[in-house]
Amino acid sequence: MQKSQLLRTRPNGATTASVQDYLAAIYDLGGSGKSVIGARLAKHMGISAPAVTESIQRMSRGGYVKVGRSKELVLTTKGRHIAEVMARRHRLLERWLTDTLGLNWTDAHEEAHRLEHALSPRVEDRLAEMLGMPSTCPHGNPIPGMARPRVRVVPFPLAQAREGDAVVVERITEEAEADKNLLEYLWRYNVRPGRRLKISEVAPWAGTITAAGDGQSITLGLPAAAKIWVYRPKDA
């Protein structure tokens, strides 16, 4: 199998692990379709706003990001290349840690974050081959550089589902992965890619949505549900 251009693109050796983390976080947050601003980045990474502002200025000077008129953060070509490599490594490691070593989602996410900076290009490529060139991480997020699934769906946030809808979980966003308690909750209730759910109640006044599937019922706050993407199956 011919390797993609991304597989031959590696982070610059002078790029620090901190910068790599920031770029990967911007990339992850951008996957939700919403603008990435400093405050959102700070919350996602658990870092103070002043520290994030300083880092953004430094990355902007380094040519990794651009700051738009509305203060949204946009990765440059240079920054995106690094972010995609880090996302690829992280998601491949998560796949290995869950599928091969049997770790749960939370432990796999934390261990992958520790290992991703030390993974060499040679081991990264060998890992991808050993895993069968998977297209997504265990949470359903696409692995950069891999072939996309042929089946096309129109995903949307679970928070936008209507009462009575039948939906299938497409992915748990990286933004949700950063919330350890939420990730553990979803794992416990088996909310994972491919899971079919029936929306039994939408309660905007309470800020919750309730879904059922396989004899289980799960209630989520709407902000949490917005981090889970689903689609309507054709046989619904």
Shared domain check, 207 and 190: yes
**Bridging pattern class, strands 73-75 and 65-67:** antiparallel
209-220 mean pLDDT:
92
Shared domain check, 173 and 131: no
93 or 68, which is more confident? 93
Shared domain check, 205 and 140: no
Q: For 146-175, how does the pLDDT look when each residue is reduced to its tens digit (9 = 90+)?
A: 887 666 788 999 999 999 999 999 999 988
- DSSP letter at 29 equals H
- Which pair of tokens denotes residue 13? 């050796």
Name beta bridge partners: 166: 198
98 or 5, which is more confident? 98
> Which among 134, 150, 166 is the end of a domain?
150
Shared domain check, 170 and 69: no
Is pLDDT of 6 > 50? Answer: no
pLDDT of residue 90: 96
CA separation for the pair 153, 236 (Å, rounded): 13
In the chain, what are the helix, strand and coil shares in percent, each to the nearest 5? 45, 15, 40
What mean pLDDT value characterizes the chain? 89
Count of the separate structural domains present in the chain:
2
pLDDT of residue 2: 38
Name beta bridge partners: 219: 210
Shared domain check, 122 and 12: yes
Residue 24: CATH number of its domain:
1.10.10.10
- DSSP letter at 159 equals G
Model-wide pTM > 0.75: yes
CA separation for the pair 65, 82 (Å, rounded): 11
Shared domain check, 164 and 201: yes
Closest-CA residue to 181 (of 213, 217, 227): 227
**Is residue 225 within 8 Å of residue 167, measured between CB atoms?**
no
Q: For 12-48, how does the pLDDT look when each residue is reduced to its tens digit (9 = 90+)?
A: 455 789 999 999 999 999 887 788 999 999 999 999 9
Closest-CA residue to 79 (of 4, 31, 13, 22): 22
**Is residue 140 within 8 Å of residue 171, measured between CB atoms?**
yes
Residue 161: CATH number of its domain:
2.30.30.90
pLDDT of residue 178: 85
Shared domain check, 203 and 171: yes
Shared domain check, 77 and 126: yes
**Is residue 79 within 8 Å of residue 94, measured between CB atoms?**
no
Q: For 129-154, how does the pLDDT look when each residue is reduced to its tens digit (9 = 90+)?
A: 999 999 999 999 999 998 876 667 88
Shared domain check, 16 and 93: yes
**Considering the domain boundaries, does residue 236 fall inside one?**
no
CA separation for the pair 51, 100 (Å, rounded): 37
CA separation for the pair 137, 87 (Å, rounded): 10
Structural domain boundaries, residue 188: 156-231
Is pLDDT of 11 > 60? Answer: no
**Considering the domain boundaries, does residue 177 fall inside one?**
yes
